[in-house]
Amino acid sequence: MDNQSFEQSLRNYADLTVQVGAGVQPGQRVLIESPVDAAPLARELVRAAYRAGASFADVRWDDDQVVLARFEAAPDDTFETISRWRVDAEMEVAEAGGSVIAIRATNPNLLGSVDAGRVSTHQRALATYRRPYSRIQMSNRLNWNLISAPVQDWATLMFPDATPEEAVQQQWAAIFAATRVDQPDPVAAWKAHLATLKARRELLTSKQYHALHFRGGETDLTVGLADDHIWGGGSADTTSGITFTANIPTEEVWTAPHRERVDGTVVSTKPLSYNGTLIDGIRIRFEGGRIVEASARQGEATLRQLIDTDEGSHRLGEVALVPHSSPISRSGLFFYNTLYDENAASHIAIGAAYRFNVQGGIDMSEEEFAAKGGNSSLTHVDWMIGSADMDVDGVLKDGSHEPVMRAGEFVI
């Protein structure tokens, strides 16, 4: 890709993010969260936001090396200290009726060699302070979007046989393909794709399955679904009526499990990069909705600390279906980044459920939400369980089954 083509693709990516992803409206404030390595994209997002009529667009910068230096060298008793201003910036924009766009790009194993206890202590403190903002985000009270961009260490992990420069170029090409930016009219392509996801989520909502039964490989898992659940997928509307698409790319439809009705064993089909540590070979057994056994071939200490975040992190907050033939799956690439890898395989999430996945859930108390089966937690972490061998049945209230997916593909 020559420089002129790349610059046009970058502009297309920014316009797609602002228009279809965040759904920025005239007069809105926009906060862009970006690693310093993704500065060219962040700057293009600012320009795209103003093209969409934003009143003010600002950037909050992140840096892997600053993060790593802290976890390697800071005193042991300092990891409950957080930079509150970083979260306050998000709250300020949300409370002003603005939009938040986050570029999540990092070395997937950045913190793999540091003390997992330091990371979990910091993560818990951050999640606790950030909970009011997370509640706004998970209740669709603002239009937000999550995308990614290459960073050197991530690119070389994905493409180990390439030179550093070639790896970044190949990663850009992979991202442009996964997000449909490489198509002649990315916005039109996304509108057609979102229509397909809408039809699928509406059909599944109308079924009101009592549970989903996953069978494939070493997985035999029954995931009960929350009472009066609603399937999400593709675009959504904020409580004020703004249409947005939270993740680009997105290939999933998802809903809220019932926090007390998950039983069986599930084994991951792809590694998970969580808080700078790779976790691979996850194997978890549930009884009555709660995790009773958990192990991993790599990163087990981090997995256990994730599960021990709070009571809600011992349960599920999301179940998502993704066809094995999705573009990211067909690419054969493993991104080491949940934003992409979760769109290559069906997945589940430990932790909080999205309020909008239960009818009336946005306005419910914690107790009312739990009574419907919704789960609450400081965390929400997706990990992949789907494959070409996975069959999924919808379980009706009378106990009968009907096929939803066979060999990783929708048949419903």
36 and 138 together in one domain: yes
What pLDDT shows up at residue 3?
Answer: 76
What pLDDT shows up at residue 275?
Answer: 85
310 and 220 together in one domain: yes
CA-atom Rg of the chain in angstroms: 20
Q: What's the token pair of residue 401?
A: 């089954």
User: The domain spanning residue 40 has which CATH number?
Assistant: 3.40.1830.10
Quick check: is 347 in a domain?
yes
**DSSP β-bridge partners for residue 405:** 392, 410
89 and 226 together in one domain: no
Quick check: is 79 in a domain?
yes
Quick check: is 387 in a domain?
yes
Q: What's the token pair of residue 25?
A: 């409206």
Tell me how far apart the alpha carbons of residues 49 and 28 are, in angstroms, rounded to a whole number.
Answer: 9
Per the prediction, the chain carries an average pLDDT of 96
What pLDDT shows up at residue 253?
Answer: 98
What pLDDT shows up at residue 350?
Answer: 98
335 and 403 together in one domain: yes
pLDDT digits (tens, 9 = 90+) for 111-129: 999 999 999 999 999 999 9
pLDDT digits (tens, 9 = 90+) for 368-392: 999 999 999 999 999 999 999 999 9
* Domain extent at residue 39: 3-178
Quick check: is 198 in a domain?
no
234 and 164 together in one domain: no
Tell me how far apart the alpha carbons of residues 168 and 6 are, in angstroms, rounded to a whole number.
Answer: 12
Structural domain tally of the chain? 2
pLDDT at position 1 over 80:
no
pLDDT digits (tens, 9 = 90+) for 220-242: 999 999 999 999 999 999 999 99
Write down the pTM of the prediction. 0.91
Residue from 403, 379, 389 nearest 128 by CA: 379
Quick check: is 293 in a domain?
yes
164 and 30 together in one domain: yes
Tell me how far apart the alpha carbons of residues 406 and 393 are, in angstroms, rounded to a whole number.
Answer: 9
Helix H or strand E segment including 42? helix 39-51
167 and 268 together in one domain: no
289 and 148 together in one domain: no
Q: What's the token pair of residue 351?
A: 């932790």
What pLDDT shows up at residue 37?
Answer: 96
Tell me how far apart the alpha carbons of residues 364 and 367 are, in angstroms, rounded to a whole number.
Answer: 8
pLDDT digits (tens, 9 = 90+) for 138-187: 999 999 999 999 999 999 999 999 999 999 999 999 999 999 999 999 99
87 and 222 together in one domain: no
